[in-house]
Amino acid sequence: MHFPTDRIVSRTGLPSFPVFEEGMVILVDKPLEWTSFDVVNKIRFAISHALGIKKIKVGHAGTLDPLATGLLLICTGKFTKQIDLLQACSKTYSGTFYLGATTPSYDAESEPDQEFGIEHITDELIAKAVVQLTGDIMQVPPAYSAIKIGGKTAYKLARRGKELELEARPVTISEFAVERKSAHEFTFMAHCSKGTYVRSLIHDLGKALGSGAYLTSLRREAIDIFQASDSHTIGSITDYIKEYAGLSRQNV
């Protein structure tokens, strides 16, 4: 996917004449505990205020959970029409997980609900399970997700104690690597297709090992050619908008 370099806001380039209404792609390093919509709203307000306009289209190309950090692509103006194409791109994640327990949300957002033994787990068993979960697989999304069921959001139903049955869907895990740090603590890297839930991948790994596992941290490292290492903090983005957006208004 190609975007003109003067329309991309990243660490490798800060366009001197941003045209937010025409369309820009902004690489943001999403902070921990922020929702993806928090980031969108912050940037939309900053642009609207700087340009002195009431409305501007701003959207993100792929949700990150509040407990995840890393690359969030923000599109403005006419580039919001490209969001579906960006969402369809493959993504790379890194993170950590705990082996020997599960949580209802498949991550550290909720408390462990079951504990499992890990004495039987060897490096050979881990390697075999990783291979089993690499390639084209069927994956059941977490109940605590934004998937709609009968017009209602799954996580809202799950938090009310509703029993949910979500259908498995095909995803592709192009690369999956796991490294043991201690008996219970592991790091991982995964390169996967659109629609993959990394929480489910880790949950399924725990099941494949005859134990349980849940995600303890997650960072999105890349979306297609865009890298988290090239992304800006929210603070630097809003400072940039305040400094340069006035130029756009003066020269339109």
Show the tokens assigned to 16: 């001197």
Three-class HEC string of the chain = CCCCHHHEEECCECCCCCCCCCCCEEEEEECCCCCHHHHHHHHHHHHHHHHCCCCCCEEECCCCCCCEEEEEEEEEHHHHHHHHHHHCCCEEEEEEEEECEECCCCECCCCCCEECCCCCCCHHHHHHHHHHCCEEEEECCCCCCCCEECCEEHHHHHHCCCCCCCCCEEEEEEEEEEEECCCCEEEEEEEECCCCCHHHHHHHHHHHCCCCEEEEEEEEEEECCEEHHHCECHHHHHHHHHHHHHHHHHHC
Q: Is 65 a catalytic residue?
A: yes
Catalytic residue among 6, 29, 65, 107: 65
Are the C-beta atoms of residues 137 and 173 closer than 8 Å to each other? yes
Are the C-beta atoms of residues 236 and 29 closer than 8 Å to each other? no
Catalytic residues: 65
